[in-house]
Chain A
Amino acid sequence: MAEPRLVEVRRNVLKQNDVIARALRERFRAAGVFVVSLVSSPGSGKTTFLEKTLTELQPRYRVRALVGDLATDNDARRLARSRAPVKQITTGTLCHLEARMVESALLDWDLDQTDFLFIENVGNLVCPASYDLGENLRLVLMSVTEGEDKPQKYPTIFNSADVVVITKDDLARAVEFDGEAARRSIESVRPGIEIFRLSAKTGVGLQAYLDFLAERLSAQRALAHS
Chain B
Amino acid sequence: MHELSIAMGIVEAALDEAKQRNLEVSAVHLRLGALSGVVKDALLFSYEVASRDTPLEGSSLVIEEVPVVVFCARCQQRRVLASVQSFTCPDCGAPAGDVLQGKELEVFALEVQHG
Query: Which of A8, A9, A11, A187 is packed against the most chain B CB atoms within 10 Å?
Result: A9
Cβ contacts under 8 Å, A190 to chain B:
87, 97
B48 on the A face (CB < 8 A): no
CB distance from A154 to the nearest CB of B (A): 10
> A5 and B112: CB pair below 8 A?
yes
A96 to chain B, nearest CB (A): 6
- How many A-B residue contacts, CB cutoff 8 Å? 110
Contact B5 A192 (CB under 8 A): no
Instruction: Select from chain B the residue with minimum beta-carbon distance to A98.
Output: B5
Let me know if A188 is at the binding interface, CB within 8 A.
Answer: yes
Question: Quick one: closest A residue to B62, CB to CB?
Answer: A6
Task: Confirm or deny: A95 has a beta carbon within 8 angstroms of a beta carbon on chain B.
Answer: yes
Q: Across the interface, which residues of A come within 8 angstroms of B38, CB to CB?
A: 130
Q: B67 CB to closest chain A CB, in angstroms?
A: 13
Tell me if B66 counts as interface (CB < 8 A to partner A). no
Contact (Cβ within 8 A) A189 B96:
no
Interface residues of A in 80-127 (CB under 8 A from B): 94-96, 126-127
Tell whether A157 pairs with B37 under 8 Å between CB atoms, given A13-B6, A14-B9.
Answer: yes
Kindly state the separation between the CA atoms of A191 and B30 in the bound complex, as whole angstroms: 29
Give chain A's interface residues, CB within 8 Å of chain B. 2-16, 94-96, 126-127, 129-130, 152, 155-157, 159-160, 187-193
User: What is the interface residue range for chain B against chain A?
Assistant: 35 or more
A156-B95 CB under 8 A given contacts A11-B13, A130-B6, A191-B87: no
B interface residues, Cβ below 8 angstroms from A: 1-2, 5-6, 9-10, 13-14, 17, 21, 23, 26-27, 29-30, 35-38, 84-88, 95-97, 99, 105-115
Inside 8 A of A130's CB, which chain B residues have their CB? 2, 6, 36-38, 105
Task: Indicate if the CB atoms of B5 and A188 lie closer than 8 Å.
Answer: no
Given contacts A188-B86, A188-B87, could you give 8 more A-B pairs where the C-beta distance is less than 8 Å? Answer: A7-B110, A7-B111, A9-B17, A11-B13, A12-B105, A13-B9, A13-B106, A192-B95
Which chain B residues lie closer than 8 Å to A10 at the CB level? 106-109
Task: Give Cα A155 to B70, complex, Å.
Answer: 15
Q: Which residue in B23, B37, B105 is a CB contact (below 8 Å) of A127? A: B37
Across the interface, A6 reaches (CB within 8 A) one of B6, B21, B111, namely B111
Q: How far is the CB of A168 from chain B (nearest CB, A)?
A: 24
Minimum Cβ distance to chain A for residue B90 (Å):
13
By a CB distance below 8 angstroms, the chain A residues around B109 are: 6-10
A123 to chain B, nearest CB (A): 14
CA distance A157 to B114 in the complex (A): 42
Contact in complex: A191, B37 (CB < 8 Å): no
